[in-house]
Amino acid sequence: MRWALVKVCLAVTAMVVVAFAVPLGLVVQEMASDRAFSNAERQAATIGPTLSITTDPVQLRKAVESTQMGAARRMAVHVPAIGDSPPVGIGQGRAGERAVAETRRMGRATTAKVAGGGSALLQPTALGSGDIAVVEIFVPESEVSNGVATAWLVLAGVGLALIVGSVAVADRLGARLVRPAERLADAAHQLGEGKLGARVPEAGPKELRSAAVAFNAMADQVVELLANERELAADLSHRLRTPLTVLRLNTASLGDGPAAEQTRAAVEQLEREVDTIIRTAREQRPATGLTGAGAGCDASEVIRDRMDFWSALAEDEGREVRLAGVDRTVRIPVARPELAAALDAMLGNVFRHTPEGTPFAVDVHDAGDAVIVLVSDAGPGISDPDAALRRGNDGGRDGSTGLGLDIVRRVAESTGGDVRLGRSVLGGTEVRVWIGLDGRSLGGPGAGRQGRGRRGNRRTRGRA
């Protein structure tokens, strides 16, 4: 489209330049010719008074030589025979006798081509005797075309400048039209590949802006639908796990016997099926990290919302909950559904792997270039933190979907941060999530991260 617009503009501008420059050049050429012959007519008129007084050859020669054209040997006077006097020719005549006779007969100025180039102006002049003399002025070709070549060059330069300028303007206009369309097509491809965070800047012509607005609205609706689906799945898992927990606790009071064993096996099988459904849904979930308009969320608001969600189960199990650092807005470059999934994974691990009545805490810290989310509990702790972080690659454990901390790790690493496990001030496990704010890597091996982690520990323990 861009090159098509440039070609059309080039063709139109070229036709306009030709339509105006060629006639204008011809007019300039005609004006130069008229100027040369008008000057020749004025020079021929200077000898007219002398011819009206005398036809003496000596006097006429002196008069011709005193003029500008006569001195340049470009003037000639043709006097016809008067009475017994023979015809007189003064100066170097270049026109033929036939042209002179034709001018005398017609009684008006004529022009004749001269052999070797140039033209001759033949001007009839009346004598005192009533006869007609002819004054001849030679006009060289250089005088007829004087300034014409320069005019053609100027016109060609102006035409070329117009063509180049129009092509440049057309190229910029085409780029302005094409770039928004290319961005829209690229975002559509990304959305088709499952990158639901693709958005289009609402810029460009009015029509393309409308298309970008419609595309972004469609993408937002898709993300919202997926978020609602995930919320429904999380709510379903909560609704199922709570009665399953009750059933599992009640089976402990059934004692021994075939019926009790069958009941316990059925409850365990049901728990495994629920975990399989959740794990399958997680694995088939496309990436929804936003990369355009609408990216990021308020970490404090999301944490408060998820804690409201889990507080009912915490109350049922007699767990004491402490929440800190969520009383102010903390913006992070993570989509709300992603942060909610990470929090659900960490809090689910607390409920799943610690005894009932175990207190836990969630803290949020703003470290300037990063946000730190701490989930601490007073449980038995984790004996092998490295193995726990690799759990996302091992979904074979009973009671685990195999994706909990792996989901948290991927969310943190998408911002340049990382996840670290350690001993909490409550005596159990501490999951420390670094979320970068400026896109610089906060994780990876090296002393830089270790130092940053130790500083974070000091800040966290001080506040605790």
Cα 427 from chain centroid (whole Å) = 54
422 Cβ partners below 8 Å, 6+ apart? 385, 429, 430, 432, 457
Q: Judge contact between 49 and 127, C-beta under 8 A.
A: no
* Rounded Cα gap, residues 417 and 263, in angstroms: 45
- The single residue listed with the structure tokens 């728990």 is 271
What would the pLDDT profile of 87-141 be if each residue is shown by its tens digit?
Answer: 888 888 888 888 888 888 888 888 888 887 888 888 898 887 778 888 988 888 8
122 Cβ partners below 8 Å, 6+ apart? 95, 99, 100, 103, 109, 110, 111, 112, 134, 135, 136
* Rounded Cα gap, residues 311 and 319, in angstroms: 9
- The predicted structure's pLDDT at residue 278: 64
- The predicted structure's pLDDT at residue 12: 86
* Rg of the chain on CA atoms, in Å: 51
Region 169-184: what's the mean pLDDT? 79
- The predicted structure's pLDDT at residue 300: 92
Cα 293 from chain centroid (whole Å) = 16
* Rounded Cα gap, residues 70 and 68, in angstroms: 5
* Rounded Cα gap, residues 401 and 344, in angstroms: 13
Does the CA dihedral 42-43-46-51 come out positive or negative?
negative
pTM of this prediction?
0.39
What would the pLDDT profile of 247-294 be if each residue is shown by its tens digit?
Answer: 777 777 777 777 778 787 787 777 777 776 665 555 544 444 444 434
User: What are the angstrom distances between the C-alpha of 222 and each of 197, 218, 344?
Assistant: 10, 6, 22
Instruction: For residue 163, give the H/E element and its range.
Output: helix 148-192
Provide φ and ψ at 75, rounded to 5°: -120, 140
Number of H helices, E strands in the chain: 14, 12
**333's tokens:** 């470059």
Q: Which of 54-63, 75-84, 437-446 has the lowest mean pLDDT?
A: 437-446
Per cent of the chain over pLDDT 90 is 9
Q: What share of the chain is helix, strand, coil (3-state, %, to 5)?
A: 60, 15, 30
* Rounded Cα gap, residues 211 and 221, in angstroms: 15
Annotate 226-257 with DSSP letters as a single string. HHHHHHHHHHHHHHHHHHHHHHHHHHGGG-SS
User: What are the angstrom distances between the C-alpha of 263 and each of 112, 238, 253, 271, 387?
Assistant: 128, 21, 11, 12, 32
Cα–Cα nearest to 384, from 394, 371, 374: 394
- The predicted structure's pLDDT at residue 292: 42
